[in-house]
Structure 1
């Protein structure tokens, strides 16, 4: 079909997209031309002997392509007589388009599903042609449409009509593109990948879908909620769902849609209706929420993530850094000291060592919840307690006693380090220099040398 027609007798071009056919000087030009063409048809005059020819691509190619007029669904159309003339208006399929079709078929076959490209399905008196049709589980049919060409900000006008006709005939439409303006449309369920050349698309590496797949976050609209209330009030107290963009591998999307693990939904908001893909578990929870928004729908028993990391080309996503496991909780110092038995009197060589300050005294003197309460004397006392706890550890021989004493030493040393940090921050000093001064002052005051390990008894 074409929109520009050449009238041989009138020697004018007829633009079927305009009501006056592009000629304001002629009154009811369409009625005259269409009535004459219908009269020729009623008298069985061959199309090639009528007055209409293609005035677009065919004429530019130097080919005389006879045409006839018709009105279908309220639209004016000019139809070629020969199929080869009609094919001349069809843009050649790009290499990227073919690469996507091959990749869809390959991904479906790896999942155990069959499919075919350029499938024509008869619908009444007309046909539906699908770029790639996948036969999924339980009779599910996924019709993949690859739209890579640019057709303005509004995109192809036939998307909504083609998607509607496919749904009426049991085909789930899945439109994929690399254009950002298409991905923002909601006339069908669009998915988008980055703009890549054909040789990259055809590779076996991971191709990532960056738009069109989302995860639903279900939450209660109260004072603890992070999202704003979609009803425009401060807090309504009801349960809501908020879609969050998620990336997914293109091959996984093809196989999951065929298996029914990922399904298309229509998400209603206050201003518009969005169309995107979610997991079947999120779809079921959303239906429960629509049925009763006074309570949150139950969470699925097994929430498997459809997003995974990959190290393969061309597009990959690094793995998330594993969270560090928390340090074991240390027992309180006073409690740990209760398990240490009374030690024998020190020898003459160790009699110069003064008794250590109790840990409770260190807590009192070194309590620095307020930064201005930390004094240098408190830092020295805390460091002395840590040094004495370390020396006590070297004097024990029992494994249980050493384990308890080691806990005490860790607790007292952590308190001393925290006090040094608060003092340096409050005085705007270098923490390393403050720690070295505290260590040296603690040893000079009591006449201790740097601790040396004692052999076990």
Structure 2
């Protein structure tokens, strides 16, 4: 679809976003052009012969792209005849956008959840396309949308409309950006990180969310309170909740939203509704407070604290030196001289860690040898072996309790999971198959064996 149409007979451009199509001197221009196009359609005249062409991107590219007109939800639309002309209007996905998508999948995989990129979900006669859809616990589906460019606030394709449509069809919308102005918008639940290059976003490190997550502070509105009364009076004697900004690691946010321990919250004030993310415990306490603001809600135990101390170097560290192609060798643990910058330089000490880690890395090495022997796309057996290695690394991580041991084993798990996901992507692409279906088949086979 496009907003600018070229009329070959009248030799003028028609702007469908304007009531007069950009020609106030011609009264009733839309009714005339649209009525003629409907008459052509009734007489089965081909679209290429209806005097209408794309006057925007296609015309600028020197391409003749026939179009026809339609009305949908009282909105004027011009539709391309050919799909390739429609695709010309699609904005190319940036490297930073792709890096966020891969990081979301990797973080979800480390938490035991699955997902896929660019998922189209059928909704009646239309579609919902999600950048990254994560299948969470108990049937929860989290749809991550990475928005690094300008996004509209009004209209059927605005952020508000797309988020509402996803939520209506069982997908929890999660919008992430690196733009500061989105932190002040409340059309959906925004989260924000620093503006970083693609190779830094994709690396293993602490990518911190600096906006969009809140901790709720519950307090009594008396003379000793630190916050002003939200009702505008001196002191009302009731209990209130105040959202306090709090940082959270991006990977933890992905995993906890999939697990349902971090949930979207709509916080209402006298004249505005604020949308942010908070722990389920704070959300439950806030709902209890809305039902009875004369009594302080009981404290409920949270499953996991989403923001924690970490020994990893931060992803946004200014003096961090890294390249887009740095990868770890899966057959041996790296020494301090060849380990990529930003990773904790340690050696395993516990016997159980050495056994499970070497077993997981050994299976990855066998799969790499099988790939090099075939000199072609991975076979299904190779994908199953890689998934077994990732499963073994995950099981080892669950058995550990020491913080440093878990840090080391988490690195092993991320390497094994990344290798398995990359192989699945290559196999699905080479065979022309749906990546999600291939992933489910491989996981089932690896689990059964």
- The aligned residue for residue 123 of structure 1 is 123
Secondary structure of the structure 2 residue equivalent to 1:53? strand
Distance 1:46 1:170 in 2: 40
CA RMSD between the two structures = 1.7
Deviation at 1:184, TM superposition (A): 1.2
Q: Counterparts in 2 of 1:44-55, with a 5 A limit?
A: 44-55=44-55
Contact 2:48 2:66 in 1 (8 A): yes
Q: Is residue 59 of structure 2 the alignment partner of residue 59 of structure 1?
A: yes
| TM-score computed with the length of structure 1 as normaliser | 0.68
Distance 2:317 2:278 in 1: 21
Distance 2:127 2:156 in 1: 18
Distance 2:302 2:146 in 1: 33
| TM-score computed with the length of structure 2 as normaliser | 0.69
Deviation at 1:304, TM superposition (A): 4.7
- The aligned residue for residue 281 of structure 2 is 281
Structure 1 199/316 Cα, relative in aligned 2: closer, same or farther at 3 Å? closer
Deviation at 1:182, TM superposition (A): 1.4
Secondary structure of the structure 1 residue equivalent to 2:166? helix
- The aligned residue for residue 271 of structure 1 is 271
- Higher-RCO chain (CA-CA 8 Å, sequence separation at least 6): 2
- The aligned residue for residue 241 of structure 1 is 241
- The aligned residue for residue 137 of structure 1 is 137
Deviation at 1:42, TM superposition (A): 0.8
Structure 1 189/148 Cα, relative in aligned 2: closer, same or farther at 3 Å? same
Deviation at 1:312, TM superposition (A): 1.7
Q: Is residue 38 of structure 2 the alignment partner of residue 38 of structure 1?
A: yes
Could you list the runs of 5+ residues in structure 1 that have no partner in the other structure? 318-457
- The aligned residue for residue 313 of structure 1 is 314
Contact 2:193 2:211 in 1 (8 A): yes
Secondary structure of the structure 2 residue equivalent to 1:290? helix
Contact 1:309 1:316 in 2 (8 A): no
Distance 2:89 2:253 in 1: 33
Distance 2:112 2:179 in 1: 30
CA displacement, residues 176-218 of structure 1 (integer Å, 9 cap, x when unaligned): 0011111211110000000000010000111000000000000
Secondary structure of the structure 2 residue equivalent to 1:211? coil
Structure 1 223/244 Cα, relative in aligned 2: closer, same or farther at 3 Å? same
- The aligned residue for residue 391 of structure 1 is none
Q: Counterparts in 2 of 1:8-407, with a 5 A limit?
A: 8-151=8-151, 158-301=158-301, 304-310=304-310, 311-315=312-316
Contact 1:208 1:316 in 2 (8 A): no
Structure 1 259/303 Cα, relative in aligned 2: closer, same or farther at 3 Å? closer
Question: Runs in 1 of length 4+ with deviation above 6 angstroms?
Answer: 152-156
Deviation at 1:136, TM superposition (A): 0.1
Contact 2:153 2:160 in 1 (8 A): no
Range with greater deviation from structure 2 (291-300 or 154-163): 154-163
Distance 2:143 2:93 in 1: 18
Contact 2:261 2:304 in 1 (8 A): no
Rg larger in 1 or in 2? 1
Deviation at 1:154, TM superposition (A): 8.0
Distance 1:239 1:48 in 2: 67
Contact 1:256 1:262 in 2 (8 A): yes
- The aligned residue for residue 325 of structure 2 is none
Distance 1:190 1:260 in 2: 17
Distance 2:232 2:317 in 1: 39
Distance 2:155 2:201 in 1: 23
Structure 1 153/37 Cα, relative in aligned 2: closer, same or farther at 3 Å? closer
Structure 1 30/163 Cα, relative in aligned 2: closer, same or farther at 3 Å? same
Distance 1:9 1:313 in 2: 61
Distance 2:223 2:291 in 1: 24
Distance 2:302 2:88 in 1: 53
Distance 1:155 1:193 in 2: 27
Secondary structure of the structure 2 residue equivalent to 1:296? coil
Distance 1:269 1:150 in 2: 28
Structure 1 95/285 Cα, relative in aligned 2: closer, same or farther at 3 Å? same
Distance 1:157 1:182 in 2: 17
Contact 2:285 2:299 in 1 (8 A): yes
CA displacement, residues 248-291 of structure 1 (integer Å, 9 cap, x when unaligned): 00000000000000000100001200000000000000010011
Count of matched residue positions in the alignment of Structure 1 and Structure 2? 317
Distance 1:153 1:167 in 2: 17
